[in-house]
Structure 1
């Protein structure tokens, strides 16, 4: 637990063993964006539309280039019903990618961090661009769209969690004004996950 209010004051780790279905090791970075001024703009991409997703869009994820498993689509439907929001990128009516945001309590299933946003905070997560549509700046545009929405809603601080080896995603976050807030590494063996290191490093506070 950190020594600050809201999410900047509470980032709780879950129990050290968390069910998963893979193995290996990974490290994630907790990133923070203090929305203190106008967001930079990215030049428009011809034929690319980014807007909020609704339930009628879920059928788009059954198309070959934008295919998701039915379990994943059902999860998206449940998120929308719970009040969580998603921005969808479309090219010629086809889903190129998506990115979720929330102002509710969330648990990052990858690394077991509980996120508890304060009244003026938000959390962005689960951003993805389908392979056929990459290298067009779709990910960054989805990122800026979510930040813009959160800023308009009065958020002054936004958090994101990114794998440390995901260079394109990190570069997009740097471009959008995010800065490192902390990091966590863990090992995964079969169906268990062991947290190896959990360090949050906000300015003016010691690592946990």
Structure 2
């Protein structure tokens, strides 16, 4: 619990330094914000070559060994602490690495793992139900110093290809409708948009309900 609290405090401080108080407040307090659940069959992915990157970059799966030995470097301490927390919970993480620096990462709850790590809390309020052999992807982050040049699309597409190699047949996720870069990435990769959900949150509380309109 102390480690989790430390992570959240560091995350809040770094978010303010990165994007200002307004972004932090929008993340913890919102009313009727529209979330867009999405799905994609992993036999219909765009080729990795559609989003080619420099030769010193690669998408790889994270592990406690890679992070514990500091063989990979996060510029933001909060992302490093969050990665350790996610791995401890049994989630899978994938990172686009430039040299030994993590330029961005994305996480997933894999139904093949079973137990507590087989589902993610988002699935219930989004109306998503992952079956065995499916995964829910969440919390993609790209370091501001590395944004642009299709890096977000390369990261997400590369991670989905690695999931496919590990036997996953379908992936789910969501993005906020007011997050234009996230909307662009998901539509570029041809995710299918599902019935939208409105979410309200006041700091740590959250009230969620499904809207009357369907996918865009």
With structure 2 as the length reference, what TM-score do the two structures score?
0.69
Name the Cα RMSD after superposition.
3.0
SS at match of 1:182: coil
Change (3 A) 1:200 1:30: farther
Change (3 A) 1:114 1:105: farther
Change (3 A) 1:35 1:94: closer
1:166 aligns with 2:171: no
Which residue of 1 is the match for residue 15 of structure 2?
Answer: none
Q: Structure 1 or 2: larger strand share?
A: 1
From 57, 66, 69, the counterpart of 2:67: 57
Contact 2:73–2:100 (CA under 8 A) maintained in structure 1: no
Contact 1:101–1:146 (CA under 8 A) maintained in structure 2: no
Which residue of 1 is the match for residue 205 of structure 2?
Answer: 192
Which residue of 2 is the match for residue 4 of structure 1?
Answer: none
1:91 aligns with 2:98: yes
Distance 1:132 1:189 in 2: 31
Contact 1:84–1:102 (CA under 8 A) maintained in structure 2: yes
Contact 1:184–1:198 (CA under 8 A) maintained in structure 2: yes
Within-5 A mapping of 1:72-111: 73-103=80-110, 104-108=118-122
Contact 2:37–2:175 (CA under 8 A) maintained in structure 1: yes
1:44 aligns with 2:52: yes
Q: Structure 1 or 2: larger helix share?
A: 2
Cα-to-partner distance string for 1:14-72 (whole Å, 9 max, x where unaligned): xxxxxxx8322221100011234453232421132221112233647875xx2133xx5
Give the aligned length: 178
Change (3 A) 1:138 1:45: same
How far the C-alpha of 1:101 sits from its partner, in A, is 1.8
Which residue of 2 is the match for residue 131 of structure 1?
Answer: 144
SS at match of 1:89: strand
How far the C-alpha of 1:157 sits from its partner, in A, is 2.1
Which residue of 1 is the match for residue 29 of structure 2?
Answer: 23
Which residue of 2 is the match for residue 155 of structure 1?
Answer: 168
Contact 1:105–1:115 (CA under 8 A) maintained in structure 2: no
Distance 2:130 2:92 in 1: 15
Distance 2:93 2:202 in 1: 32
Contact 1:39–1:148 (CA under 8 A) maintained in structure 2: no
With structure 1 as the length reference, what TM-score do the two structures score?
0.71
SS at match of 1:170: helix
Distance 1:121 1:61 in 2: 28
